[in-house]
């Protein structure tokens, strides 16, 4: 299995992999899920790590007492806030020069940066909150906010609000609905639907820009 296939499998079957993590690492599982969210939001070259699916699956397992829901929420919230803050400071330090690195350019290129920047310019500070619910875009937006020298206090306020809404919504939905028979039997399909719905706004923006240029 290739690296990309492994990532896709991990995302689509995140509930099964989380169970394995809990069985193998016990309380250290909180550290592992913290690191996944922290890296996904904080390191601009790892936008492909699971975000929404991880929160949903962990919330569902919390309903089965595999996680403490309050502690889980705090772990995810802190990871999301610190991750975005790190991403902001990386962007402020290195700017768009990072896209010219041959290795990094495989994961983040100028086209992706331009898409996220247009979204950021259109919605302003609200982008920090909106982007939380958009895979890939949520990793690029804090970086662009930093590279464009957005006021950090202003950024941090939206960072807090976005993390609260994102973590709260997905963990609570997972906690209350994740263990329904229908959801459990179709979890992979539901995760795929969530991902597709999340990327639709960005996809619409890209298509609209293409036709506008034409």
pLDDT in tens, 47-63: 666 678 889 888 888 88
How confident is the model at residue 176, as a pLDDT?
86
Mean pLDDT over residues 183-195, rounded? 68
Q: How confident is the model at residue 82 (pLDDT cuts 50, 70, 90)?
A: very high
Highest mean pLDDT among 97-106, 119-128, 171-180: 171-180
Task: Please say whether the beta carbons of 108 and 44 come within 8 A.
Answer: yes
Give residue for tokens 């330090």: 93
Residue length of the chain: 214
CA distances from 110 to 89, 104, 107, 200 (A): 19, 11, 10, 20
Mean pLDDT over residues 72-79, rounded? 96
pLDDT for 4 beyond 60: no
Mean pLDDT over residues 28-36, rounded? 93
Structure tokens at 26: 């016990």
pLDDT for 1 beyond 90: no
């Amino acid at each position: 299995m290739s690296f990309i296939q492994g990532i896709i499998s991990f995302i689509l079957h995140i509930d099964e992999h989380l169970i394995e993590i809990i069985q193998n690492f016990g309380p250290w599982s909180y550290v592992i899920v913290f690191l996944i969210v922290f890296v996904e939001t904080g390191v601009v070259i790892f936008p492909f790590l699971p975000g929404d699916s991880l929160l949903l699956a962990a919330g569902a397992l919390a309903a089965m007492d595999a996680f403490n829901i309050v502690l889980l929420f705090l772990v995810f919230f802190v990871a999301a806030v610190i991750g975005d803050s790190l991403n902001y400071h990386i962007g402020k330090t290195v700017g768009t020069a990072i896209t010219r690195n041959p290795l990094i350019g495989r994961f983040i290129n100028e086209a992706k940066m331009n898409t996220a920047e247009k979204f950021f310019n259109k919605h302003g500070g609200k982008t920090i909150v909106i982007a939380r619910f958009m895979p890939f875009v949520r990793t690029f937006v804090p970086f662009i906010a930093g590279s464009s020298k957005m006021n950090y206090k202003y950024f941090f306020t939206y960072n807090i609000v976005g993390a609260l809404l994102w973590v709260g919504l997905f963990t609570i939905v997972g906690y209350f609905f994740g263990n329904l028979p229908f959801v459990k039997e179709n979890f992979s399909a539901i995760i795929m639907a969530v991902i597709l719905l999340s990327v639709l706004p960005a996809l619409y923006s890209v298509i609209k820009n293409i036709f506008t240029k034409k």
